[in-house]
Chain A
Amino acid sequence: MATNPFERAGSSGTITRPPSGGELTTDSVFRGIAYVCAALIVVLTALILWELGKEAMPAISKYGLGFWYGTTWDVNKGVFGVLPEIWGTLYSSLLALLLGGVFGISIAIFLTQDFIHAKLAVVFRTIVELLAAIPSVVYGLWGIYVLIPMIRPGAEWLHQHFGWVPFFSTDLSGPGMAPAALVLAIMILPTVAAISVDAFRRIPYKVKEAAYGMGTTKWEAILKVMLPTASSGILAALVLGFGRALGETMALAMLIGNANQINLSLFAPANTLASLLASSFPEAGGIEVQALMYAALVLLLITFIVNVAGLAVQQYTVRKFEGKA
């Protein structure tokens, strides 16, 4: 006679039992909520895209691809182009990424690679993360009243002595590319630092011990073992930071100078897509609104491309440095 070996286990008096009706309901309700949340993200993104596209449609059909490489923004004549803004957006974000990236990763190494006591590292990390809590407009005001007067003498010196270098071909009047990029770098610093710290923390301590065991110095271990192993996490940090820099609006609208020009000079005023939107939208009407919607789509597309490219590079490094498929 066949007996159910689990019968005894399933009966009362033991701790195992089949899930009750209540548990099954909770489980499926929770799963439903999770699905709805996930779907909501997709739906909302699609809705925003659709709405933007609908508003921008007249401008898209009227200006087409010329909008991307046009350099005039003349409401009166109805001529619109955003090349200077695309340039300003990418230039400022890249500069910020360069500065913020180097600093952020250095901070992460400093905090995780036994340079300071673990408790002190927590304090440092909290302070860095506090930077993320400062409102954008405060950064803008700080940039105008503290940063610009502070870097002006240095900028003047560079312009006078190295004026032949394209990067220093104008002097810093006030708002311009350099203060904007510096403030952006500070703004993306907490993102880059916090995620890089996590990336380093995820590496088992054994990896470092093994490196030491093979006779590496501390810096060889950090640069040749730890950094490559954490590289996918660090890249994710950089991509997130770059995305934040691309879309930053308020501080940049206050600091970039709003000049419709393409200039290599670090001290010349420029403009970005987000600050064009912020400063033009309140006053815009008619065709300018459609052109601004088109500009918003351009910004969205650039951000999308950057994120996809970042993801691709990240997957490549995971394969190359971390040996995962």
Chain B
Amino acid sequence: MQSVRSVACAAAAFALLAVSAAEGADSADSAEGDLVIRGAGATFPQPLYEEWISAYAEQAPGVRFEYAGVGSGKGTALFLAGKDPDGKVFDGADVDFGASDAALSDKDLAQVGERGAVMVPTTGGIVALAYNLPGVDELKLSRAAVQGIFTGTIKSWNDPIIAAANPGVTLPSKTVTPVVRRDSSGTTFIMTSHLAAAFPAWRDVAGVAKQLDWPGNTMKVNYNEGVAQRVKISTGSIGYMEYQFAKRLGLPMAMIENKAGELVAPTPESGTAALASAQEVPDDLRVFVPDPPGDGAYPIVGYTWLLLYQSYPDAAKREALKGAVLWGLADGQPIAEEMGYIPLPEDMVEMARAKVEAVY
């Protein structure tokens, strides 16, 4: 009887859980006095957006911003749908802006509908390759090494291809274990864009995407902080993540060979040099720098975008959101620089400002 009862209880609990998960979609907007503006998307700029939100709170009392770091892929989907149809993010309340490291694709743009969409670059970010190799304080990776590691052809850290760029360093014979993002991610998009630009053969292996089935002995983890954490506890691992996340956990970051053949460490300066080498900026501000050519440019960088609707029927929401984004483009930039992001180039700020002003 004992076991029968406990089985029944477990089954009942399971059924309850399933029901409540299915019906959690209908809780309403619970703003009490404050105007709440909600956004969701990339985890890459999440530390910055959170910092901006708390700094801007003093400027605009009565408005509360909420940001959910759900990854660029999910953020784009939420923005296109206007809210979470499953009711998980913000309990299904309206999503007022999105955020993505991959901007919106033409296919996404076609789905936006009559409200229209504006892409506003807010900052640039560096994707660092952080590693965990006891005894190796400085690791230099040639282009061939980066390619070999992420395509799974380099299996051991003492591979001659890695050793060639690291004279004088004793590399252990440990197994190479890349750590990648499992969820749909803009960081993955920036990483694969670089791989595709630097190694034409990459497109045969996987291609450019926010989410893919990585080849080789790779560990798949959710979110930037997950990748950083996994690298921290796994020796012989190397993972790509936003610079801040590696820095926060004190992970060593590899120097990477750029297009000009220099080995460059990820720093705000080398990132700025990379963004500055971008060619002309298209009208929709979708600029990608998959393989920056400049001197001293760190090769894996990208912009990150806020996704706004072209029109907001709610005037109060529109003005509050516009004010906040304009503030971020002006006063927010030094904060970005302090946190290790790359501040936007001057002319990019001007173009972005014009885009925000045009929201009606």
Interface residues of A, Cβ cutoff 8 Å to B? 37-38, 40-41, 44-45, 47-48, 51, 72-77, 79, 144-145, 148, 152, 159-160, 170-171, 173-175, 257-261, 263, 267-269, 279-280, 282-283, 285
Contact = CB atoms under 8 A, between A and B. Distances in A.
A77 B184 CA distance: 12
B86 to A, nearest CB: 7
B241 to A, nearest CB: 16
Contact of B235 (A38, A40, A152, A258): A152
Contacts of B28: none
Contacts of A171: 174-175, 236
Interface in B217-237: 217-222, 230, 233-237
A291 to B, nearest CB: 13
17 contacts: A37-B8, A41-B4, A41-B7, A45-B11, A51-B18, A77-B212, A173-B175, A173-B237, A174-B234, A175-B233, A257-B219, A259-B217, A269-B219, A279-B222, A282-B222, A283-B73, A285-B74
A37 B230 contact: no
Nearest to A38: B4
A145 B229 CA distance: 12
B177 interface: yes
Given A74-B212, A76-B211, A283 B71 contact: yes
Contacts of A74: 211-213
Contacts of A76: 209-212
Given A170-B217, A171-B236, A173-B236, A41 B177 contact: no
B97 to A, nearest CB: 19
A174 B230 contact: yes
Interface residues of B, number: 41
A279 B182 contact: yes
A38 B43 CA distance: 48
A154 B218 CA distance: 23
Contacts of A263: 217
Nearest to B11: A44
Contacts of A174: 177, 230, 233-235, 237
Interface of B: 4-5, 7-8, 11-12, 14-15, 18, 70-71, 73-74, 77, 86, 88, 173-175, 177, 182-184, 209-213, 216-222, 230, 233-237
Contacts of B18: 48, 51
Nearest to B233: A174
A76 B175 CA distance: 28
A260 B213 contact: yes
A145 B71 CA distance: 28
Contacts of B7: 41
A54 B237 CA distance: 40
B183 A283 contact: yes
A79 B209 CA distance: 14
A231 B229 CA distance: 45
Contact of B211 (A45, A75, A152): A75
A37 to B, nearest CB: 6
A277 B218 CA distance: 18
A283 B219 contact: no
Contacts of B222: 279, 282-283
A41 B8 contact: yes
B235 A173 contact: yes
A48 B19 CA distance: 11
B233 A148 contact: yes
Given A175-B233, A279-B222, A285-B77, A37 B5 contact: yes
Nearest to B212: A76
Nearest to A74: B213
B177 A173 contact: yes
B11 A258 contact: no
B215 to A, nearest CB: 9
